[in-house]
Structure 1
Amino acid sequence: MKKLLFTMAAFAITSWAVAQKTEGKQKAEDLISFKEKKHDFGKIKQGSPVTYDFAFQNTSDKPVVIENAWASCGCTTPTKPEQPVAKGKSNVIKAGFNAAAAGPFDKTVYVKVQGIDIPLELRITGNVLNAEAYAKYESENKKNKGGK
């Protein structure tokens, strides 16, 4: 009986300690606010790189430093602001995708804010079509828009 009570008490204390450790932690979303965290490029032509600017605003009461921005693979190239973003000001994380391989894609860009342990995630998606499939797609698109 004593072992059971001791085990239950140890479990309760450990659970409480873990909850306290994660509850008070600040998140990147507490400092910066993105207009959107996901962008769908739709259908793009193979070999034609695309980029998208993920706009964000500093919602904190002090300048924010974007320490790093990296991608889930080498086909995606993020670019971050090099200078601190002042209180209330806006900036962008630029996500470039090389569109080298045909097929659907779903890539993640990670954004590390100074002083925050867990990076924020942005996503880009789309479908890369080879030249023939893209020409067919464009032709069908023109027909649906009345030939304009």
Structure 2
Amino acid sequence: MKNLLIAMIVLASGTLFGQQNVTAFQNGAQMEFDKDVHDYGTIQKGANGDCVFIIKNTGNQPLVIRDAKGSCQCTVPEWPKDPIAPGKSAEIKVKYNTTRVGVINKSVTITSNATNGTTKVLKIQGTVVE
């Protein structure tokens, strides 16, 4: 009976003390976007191809965007070079060259120090017509 009691105490203590610290994964910078996709719909050749994605730091440390790369030379992102403070937002501007007629299906890859994913792919889509 005494051995059974000791075994139960050992098992219970392993359960209590063996749990991972979940809050460690929640600390740090975290990025959230207002949208994952910008849809231009149908736009005219030569029209303004600019769009904006809003990024918010929902973490508790500064968010640093290390890089933003367009999937081609016709998709050019601009991003904040200064850290984004916790609770603050910033803009990622994307310029798409609308001189080519056809379907738009491009992306911008954001690289950061976020603990909820260091990369995020944003997409732009639509159709350019004459």
SS in 2 for 1:88: coil
Superposed displacement of residue 39, structure 1 = 0.8
**TM-score, scaled relative to structure 2:** 0.73
Asked whether the equivalents of residues 30 and 114 of structure 2 are also in contact (C-alpha less than 8 Å), the reply is no
**Dislocated runs of 4+, deviation >3 Å:** 115-118
**TM-score, scaled relative to structure 1:** 0.64
Deviations along 1:75-94, one digit per CA (max 9) or x if unpaired, are 10101101100010001111
Tell me which residue corresponds to 1:128.
Answer: 128
Superposed displacement of residue 49, structure 1 = 3.4
Structure 2 stretches lacking a partner, 5+ long: 1-24
What RMSD over aligned residues (CA atoms) do the two structures have, in Å? 1.7
Number of aligned residue pairs: 102
Tell me which residue corresponds to 1:133.
Answer: none
Q: What letter is aligned with 1:124?
A: I
Kindly indicate whether structure 1 or structure 2 has the higher relative contact order, using CA contacts under 8 Å at least 6 residues apart. Answer: 2
Tell me which residue corresponds to 2:6.
Answer: none
More helix by share: 1
Q: What letter is aligned with 1:75?
A: C
Q: What letter is aligned with 1:128?
A: V
1:54 and 1:107 map into 2 onto residues whose CA distance is 14
What is the correspondence of 1:47-126 to structure 2 with a 5 Å cutoff?
47-114=46-113, 118-126=118-126
Structure 1 stretches lacking a partner, 5+ long: 1-25, 131-148
